[in-house]
Amino acid sequence: MTIAAENGQPGSEAKAVLRRYLDALTAGDLPAVSGSFAEDATWSIHGTMPLSGIKQGRGAIMEFLTSAASLYQPGTQTFTFGEITAEGDRAVLEWRVRGIASATGLHYDNAYCGVFRIRGGRITEVREYLDSLHAAQVLFPDAS
């Protein structure tokens, strides 16, 4: 029986998968984070920053997620997650990232929104949106 069938709410399975991913992410459980993604999942970030573009496949997504921590001075990066809104196989999450940038020493505080597609109990697609100008100025001062 799927999670959606158990509680009868549209999008319940998508919410449950996303919550498990967030729990693993905040606990630093990298095997569980990796297992949250389908082998052929994609993660897209719009814009022209060095992080922008499409990460194709679980390995590329994990490399992106683990390398992003180096953008912040050790111990300064924090996440605040909002509510998850879901319908069908899609879930939307808003979150905030704060920290002190390694490259500039400046305070970083940015709001994010992600659209997640869930199929077969795994994340198959993420489209991430953020204030890319703020991120570029604070995290990537040398990028043109």
pLDDT of residue 48: 87
pTM: 0.89
Q: Which two tokens stand for residue 143?
A: 């990028």
Q: Is the predicted pLDDT of residue 113 greater than 70, yes or no?
A: yes
Distances (CA, A) of 84 to 11, 12, 59, 71, 111: 10, 10, 25, 26, 15
> Mean pLDDT over residues 85-91, rounded?
95
Q: What is the mean pLDDT of residues 39-49?
A: 94
**Mean pLDDT of the residues in the chain:** 92
The class (CATH top level) of 3-139 is: alpha beta
Q: Which of 99, 82, 101, 114 is nearest to 140 (CA)?
A: 101
Domain boundaries, the chain: 3-139
Q: How many Å apart are CA 83 and CA 52, to the nearest integer? A: 25
% pLDDT > 90, the chain: 86
pLDDT at 4 over 90: no
